[in-house]
Amino acid sequence: MTRDPRYDILFEPVRIGPVTAKNRFYQVPHCTGMGWLRPRTLAAMRGVKAEGGWGVVCTEYASIHPSSDDLPYPYASLWDDSDIRANALMTDAVHAHGALAGVELWHGGARTANLLSRIAPMDVDSFPNPNGQPYQSRVMDKADIRNLRRWHRLAALRARDAGFDIVYVYATHDYLLSHFLSPRLNTRSDEYGGSLENRVRLVRELIEETKDAVGDRCAVAVRFAADAEEGEDGVPVVGERREMFAMLADLPDLWDINIADYSLEMGVSRFAKEAALEPYMAWVRSQTSKPVVTVGRFTSPDTMASQVRRGVTDLIGAARPSIADPFLPKKIEEGRLSAIRECIGCNICYSGDALGVPIRCTQNPTMGEEWRRGWHPEAIAAKGSDARILVVGAGPAGLEAARALGARGYEVMLAEATRELGGRVTREAALPGMSEYARVRDYRMQQLQEMPHVEVFRESPMTADDVLAVGADHVVLATGARWRKERFGPEGYVAIAEGAALDRVLTPDDIMDGALPEGPTLIYDEDGYYMAVSLAEKLRGAGHAVTLCTPSDSVSDYGSITVEAWRMRARLTKLGVGIVTAKTLTSFDGAEIALDCVYGGETVRMPFETVVMVTSRRPVDGLYRDLMARAGTDPLPFTLARIGDCEAPSIIATAVHAGHRYARELDTVVDEDQPFRHERIDVGSDRVADLGAHIGRAKP
């Protein structure tokens, strides 16, 4: 297949100062949970993106000095020569495929508590740490500003020596430089505060000094917010940003534009759709002669081409779409649009960084596994035998197992008990705002349709006898899980109702199957993610009086690390859903519930006619147990495995990964003791001498 000429504009080269991007696909800086802790993991992941056709591949924010230390969140760093060597792994991997490598020089200011370095944070004023750490920054004096400029210049030189082609001045996202720009936060009375010109001074100096440091070897980019403050979605509050931008418009070689509201810029698909930043970009392109890049969770080549043609942006910026499909540019170039794994906007990738672990992806199970397991998103080993495989269950785990096994060339039979494929993905995608989750199913169904050696059998519930009758060489069960009516307490699972009252206790599966509650309804949430909130929105939209109760101090704790909790809570408030926190549901008699305060307060009783329990799930593993019981008498004529929720209920990304791992490892030798490579510093045989050199020996 060949490229559609409508998309030719996306493959035009773009001059960025002294360097040239081979096309308009630009992977903007994004965090990975890898950073300086896992440089090989990071380099392999970025290299795969360059191989996939991205013209520019940036690393994550790179600390310029130990006074900007963000652990436990891993980040890149450019503190010394060791960092030059570590970052060169990434630039070499990117350059090997003809792409440019970019780096974002970063100082966190008050946002970094410096838990590793134990250096007092510094900022334009003494501010509390916004991440909840009990620390405040000290006020920067003139010597601090001179030091900052020197550190920034030294980091720029190290970036150049590490092989980066684009070096950023990072002036947004509520980090140090953005505070100097702020008319509210910057109340200094010296030449770095007060007037607009003074507040812009430090950013201007850093741009000029960075350009002087890197010379004609590297381009200099600035990351900058197009609006001054958060407002109504799609209605920018520009403030001074236009004037500020005009002062700097042609100084850098590239502008990387974002917005003040990170929950929209990085918004989940439930609340932010493709190209959500376009209204904020309306004035930017007309104010500078330099190229501009911005993001918008772009997955449609039509939207991308339209953005460029209409002058919204010069380069198509992406973080999440490049994670879901590192080969997105190449697939557009080769006319293979149906092969694109579109981002679903779940932000599981972001949660990895927030937890300090390498990123994962719901759509792309190879993300983060490029180095440690040697997985590639588009390449997979050929089959290791002529075995026939039966996959039971066509949810996310079963679909991915069948797809990946089919890609290896195996003869696969996929049996689904119902008419619809997709399992939980299909059911959950029908909830309010969740429609893009269906892409998990749709991508895999599309791929299976192109594999004649993979047969899909709908409405085919399987018993142990049925499985045995198939005559497969390998059987893998992906039969999912169902929500429980009990809650989980210190002594195990606890029923909250009995008798007739139990009929008024529903689960998410009941609601997704079409059941509707009677009378005032309590949704009790111990899951802490999106399910309870989605059900509350669904039931409230159907006219039911709904209250959401959780033993946590807040609604959707896990949503906080996927950047959606605030919007979830705001949506519930707007819909008139009642919210009760820090209460444990202990009983329900069909008319009244009892709630215990988690801090030991008095029991509260409230009238409700229906309770929806969003607590935990029970694996649907009856078929597995039946087959294992057969194995107790006569050995099974096939290998048997279970994957996904029927093994251990989890998030969709985990189910997809489990299916992919099964397919990768079939007919291979796996060392169960060391299933993948560890990226750790090897202190070597001189470790005792090294310790002695640093701390000496204790004297008697």
Give the residue numbers annotated as catalytic, written as ranges: 175
Rg (Cα) of the chain, in Å, rounded?
27
DSSP lists the bridge partners of residue 550 as 581
Compute how many other C-beta atoms are within 10 angstroms of the C-beta atom of residue 614: 28
The two tokens of residue 187 are 């109340």
Q: Which of 305, 235, 302 is nearest to 264 (CA)?
A: 235
DSSP lists the bridge partners of residue 61 as 104
Backbone angles phi, psi at 272, to 5 degrees: -140, 125
Q: Are 594 and 496 in contact (CB under 8 A)?
A: no
Q: Are 18 and 219 in contact (CB under 8 A)?
A: yes
Q: Is 494 exposed, middle or buried (0-12, 13-18, 19+ CB in 10 A)?
A: middle
CA distances, 557 to each of 171, 290, 389, 553, 566 (Å): 29, 42, 40, 8, 10
Q: Is 66 exposed, middle or buried (0-12, 13-18, 19+ CB in 10 A)?
A: middle
Residues listed for the chain: 700
Using CA atoms of 395, 653, 54, 99 in order, give the dihedral in degrees to the nearest 10: -130
Q: Which of 291, 273, 292 is nearest to 281 (CA)?
A: 292
Q: Tokens 């399910």 label which residue?
A: 531
Distance CA 675, CA 342 (A): 29
Distance of CA 77 to the CA centre of its chain: 21
What is the Cβ-side half-sphere exposure of residue 207, based on CA atoms within 13 angstroms? 21
Q: Collect all residues with Cβ–Cβ distance below 8 Å to 544 and sequence separation of at least 6.
A: 516, 517, 520, 521
CA distances, 277 to each of 233, 234, 272, 282, 673 (Å): 9, 7, 9, 9, 47
Distance CA 341, CA 321 (A): 8
Distance of CA 153 to the CA centre of its chain: 31
CA distances, 166 to each of 256, 680, 694 (Å): 12, 29, 38
Local structure of 209: helix, strand or coil: helix
Angle ∠(62,67,73) on CA atoms, nearest 5: 50
Query: What b-and-e string marks burial along 208-237, b requiring 16 or more CB atoms within 10 Å of the CB?
Result: ebbbebbeeebbbbbbbbbbbeeeeeeebe
Question: Peptide bond before 72: cis, by omega within 30 degrees of 0?
Answer: yes
Q: Collect all residues with Cβ–Cβ distance below 8 Å to 686 and sequence separation of at least 6.
A: none
CA distances, 686 to each of 683, 690, 692, 697 (Å): 7, 6, 10, 16
β-pairing verdict for 25-27 and 315-318:
parallel
Q: Are 169 and 156 in contact (CB under 8 A)?
A: no
Secondary structure string (H, E, C) spanning 173-186:
CCCHHHHHHCCCCC
